[in-house]
Amino acid sequence: MSIATVASFVTAALVLAGIALTFLLVTVGVAAFQFFSANRPVRVARHQSIPTYYRQLAFS
């Protein structure tokens, strides 16, 4: 195994890891946006602040 082969493998592995990380961050971001936008009308109707509403949501 030469250095060029190892370097190519490491580069390809890092590129794939970067793509996977980007996909994960986008997926989590979209899910978080959908969650918060779905709960906003209820929170606003109750006149609660963001921390108060989500604290009660988490611990209820």
Tell me the pLDDT tens digit for each residue of 14-53: 999 999 999 999 999 999 999 999 999 999 999 999 999 9
DSSP summary character for residue 48: -
What are the sequence ranges of the domains in the chain? 20-59
Tell me the pTM: 0.70
Residue 60 confidence (pLDDT) above 90: no
Instruction: Give per-residue burial for 12-26: e unless 16+ CB within 10 Å, then b.
Output: eeeeeeeeeeeeeee
Q: Helices 3-45 and 50-59: crossing angle, nearest 10°? A: 100
The pLDDT score that the predictor gives to residue 2 is: 84
Whether pLDDT at 1 is above 80:
no
Three-state DSSP class for 59? helix
